[in-house]
Homo-oligomer: A and B are copies of this chain.
Amino acid sequence: MPIDNSNMLKVIEDFPHQCRAALPLAKGIAVSGKVDKIIVAGMGGSAVGGDLLRLYLHDLKIPITTVRDYKLPNFVDENTLVFAVSYSGNTEETLSAFEDATKRKAKIVAVTSGGKLAESAKKVIKIPKGLQPRAALGYIFFPILGVLVNSGIVKENPGDVKEMLDILSNTDDFKSFGESIAKQIGSRTPLIYASEQFGAVAYRWKTQFNENSKVAAFTHNFSELNHNEIVGYQTMSKERFISIFLRDNFDNDRIKKRMNITKDIISQKVDVVEVYTKGNSLLSRLFSALYYADFASYYLALQNKIDPTPVHVIESLKKKLAE
């Protein structure tokens, strides 16, 4: 039985090249004038780039908000930079948010491979077609960052990018550890935990398990989970669940201590797998933590004899929505 019809493995292995190819795509695209709020509007795989941006640029004095909805928050105005991100260019929520941004006279940059969004927007970052949206994260993240650099909102940091690409290029490390995580998961539901600073990375793990492996997966963050989710373990069992901690050597000391204690407590009920970020720059640590998920979710699909690429239910839902 063919289980990787569209060669998802090759796409995942090529991810460092995708990031390299994505770097120049923002060339010549910038906004001018005051920007005191940044919005990334998108859904699913297209929205994760916005979340990552918020994590990476946490030092910025300008709030960055990801919007996964038909409309934008009421505070969006002419000083707001809105990135409308839709890989296909036809995501209805994003097109609606784009219209909303236009009405509010926001500064808009579209990121898309085509569709109605490419036709409607004045400033467009055109990215290559032919991928699953969730596999195009490099093409989404780096051009957005590029526009912020071109617009004088953030400083260019080629050192960060170089370290990140060097680390990700050791693809086999991610591949073999990802495969081992898939084996440990088996038929259990993975719960992925990280600090608030890495929350969007944990969410990406969840969605990769959903879309590539076609399994349930959930996520929560430290230390909020210490105030609620941890209590649920009282009745949980290792037959149903497995917990994955995404850890970072730069996590705040209290978070590290919380992770250690939480691991001790919940290990009485479920197995706990720990995954550490690699590198020194935040960019490397974010992307290394993300990259494991691509392989883990890919191998979990294969293990369950499921083709990782197609997401038939999303396609059939879209058809029914159009009726």
The reply on A155 being an interface residue by CB < 8 A is no
Q: Which residues of B contact A117 (CB under 8 A)?
A: none
- Contact A63/B43 with A216-B236, A254-B321, A304-B235 known, Cβ cut-off 8 Å: no
Q: Which of B223, B232, B257 contacts A215 (CB 8 A)?
A: B232
Q: Which of B75, B92, B217 is the one whose CB lies under 8 Å from A63?
A: B75
> With A63-B63, A261-B317 known to touch, is A216 a contact of B230 (CB < 8 Å)?
no
Residues of B within 8 A of A227 (CB): 43-45, 207, 314
Give min CB distance, A210 to chain B, whole Å. 4
Any B CB within 8 A of the CB of A320: yes
A262: which B residues are within 8 A, CB to CB? Answer: 317
Q: Least Cβ distance of A131 to chain B in Å? A: 15
> Looking at the complex, which one of B47, B68, B216, B228 makes contact with A44 (CB distance below 8 Å)?
B228
Q: Which residues of B contact A274 (CB under 8 A)?
A: none
- Whether A74 lies near B92 (C-beta < 8 A) is no
Q: Tell me if A5 is interfacial: C-beta within 8 Å of chain B.
A: no
Would you call A258 and B62 a contact (CB within 8 A)?
Answer: no
Binds B, one of A9-17, A53-61, A174-182: A53-61
A316 within 8 A of B: yes
Please tell me how many copies of the chain the complex holds: 2
B210 near A231 with CB under 8 A, answer yes
Any B CB within 8 A of the CB of A120: no
| A198-239 contacts to B (CB < 8 Å) | 206-207, 209-211, 214-218, 221, 223-224, 226-236
Contact partner, A75, options B62, B228, B233, B306, Cβ 8 Å: B62
Tell whether, in the assembled complex, residue A69 and residue B210 are in contact, meaning their CB atoms are under 8 Å apart.
Answer: no
Report yes or no: B196 in contact with A231, Cβ–Cβ below 8 A: no
Q: Smallest distance from the beta carbon of A168 to chain B beta carbons, Å? A: 23
Q: Does A73 contact B (CB under 8 A)?
A: yes
Asked if A126 lies at the interface with its beta carbon under 8 angstroms from chain B, I say no
Q: Which residues of B contact A230 (CB under 8 A)?
A: 210, 313-314, 317
From the candidates B61, B233, B320, name the one contacting A74 in the complex (CB within 8 A). B61
Chain B min CB distance to A217 (Å): 7
Contact A75 B61 (CB under 8 A): yes
Q: Which residues of A contact B (CB under 8 A)?
A: 37, 43-45, 47, 58-63, 65, 68-70, 73-75, 77, 92-93, 189, 196, 206-207, 209-211, 214-218, 221, 223-224, 226-236, 240-241, 252, 254-255, 257-258, 261-262, 265, 304, 306, 311, 313-314, 316-317, 320-321
Q: Give me 15 A-to-B residue pairs in the complex whose CB atoms sit less than 8 angstroms apart, sorted by A's number.
A: A43-B224, A44-B228, A60-B74, A60-B75, A63-B63, A70-B254, A70-B255, A189-B240, A210-B228, A216-B241, A227-B314, A230-B314, A233-B313, A258-B317, A265-B313
